Chain A
């Protein structure tokens, strides 16, 4: 009798605990189902639409988000540099390459919760395509770090992990059928303050 109760209790605890824990783990994995990864940048073209899979829908419901529509744009997030290390605020990075055709784009630095970092001096750490200095072939080169740099500088302050968030607005890349074809700039580490 006691053994039956004991086994029933074990089964219940493992079922409910294991089931809940597995959902929690699945929803906290950043490289989730439905992700599109292009040279280190991750996007979820279907998240926040009725076409999203069940896991994306559940994750999205907990975030309190309202994602951009197809006619608005698409957001890419980079949290690692080209060598696979986490991006850190005490390091400086070079973002180089072509950006897909879009009416305009914005790039900002965010913390792990995708909240923009506090401003350095007066500027919020965000840039957009209409204030870019470009190379002859139209590519961009942005220096992100705490030390001011010539050219395009994205000022970052503080310590800890960070993410680059690149949003293309009014772009043909936002339709997920073509999102695999585009190329995005590389994030190269320059050096770190210790």
Chain B
């Protein structure tokens, strides 16, 4: 009897350890996160449609049906990432996510100067180097300092009604994501 009690106690303790281990390791080993889904269809620095009509990698839970969105994966070891676009739409917003899909930084068209999509993602070390000799193309850019290597940039735009769809899709397809 004491033996069964002892076995139960040890099992419970073991179950606790397994519970914690599975919980902590899950984010690192999952193949269902946004990064894994994106990497199945597109390479680094390729702007991929993740929402709206004709999305190549639909991340359905992340994008409102009244929105269109594009995403691009980057690696800051290749240099800083410059994301730029042109044109005006009713609403756009952008987010920088880390490798695990956690939102690190976000802003929208009203918090960006001139309402233009123009920002640079870089690490604190790269910031120091870029500040020394600011390239001509970065003069108006918003600097997003993030202490990460790999990450995802997402630009979303609101589609108030279907007549806006093609204009919004053109706006998003003009957004570029390039290392420099």
Asked if B16 and A64 sit within 8 Å, CB to CB, the answer is: no
Asked if A69 and B106 sit within 8 Å, CB to CB, the answer is: yes
Decide if B34 is an interface residue (CB 8 Å cutoff). Answer: yes
Asked if B108 and A66 sit within 8 Å, CB to CB, the answer is: no
Question: Which of A15-23, A81-89, A139-147, A186-194 lies on the face that meets chain B?
Answer: A15-23
Decide if A113 is an interface residue (CB 8 Å cutoff). Answer: yes
Chain B residues in 8 Å Cβ range of A170: 91, 93, 108, 110
Asked if A48 and B15 sit within 8 Å, CB to CB, the answer is: no
Q: Contact residues of B with A, CB < 8 Å?
A: 3, 7-8, 10-19, 21-24, 26-27, 30, 32-34, 36-37, 50, 59-62, 64-67, 71, 91, 93, 95, 97-98, 100-108, 110-111, 152, 154, 156, 158, 160-161
CB-CB nearest 6 A-B residue pairs: A69-B106, A19-B18, A15-B14, A18-B15, A14-B11, A61-B27
Helix, strand, loop or mixed for chain B's interface?
A: mixed
7 CB-based A-B contacts, threshold 8 Å: A3-B3, A15-B10, A17-B15, A22-B19, A106-B66, A124-B65, A170-B108
B46 to chain A, nearest CB (A): 16
Asked if B152 and A169 sit within 8 Å, CB to CB, the answer is: no
The 8 A CB mask of A58-71 against B (1 = contact, 0 = none) is 10111111111111
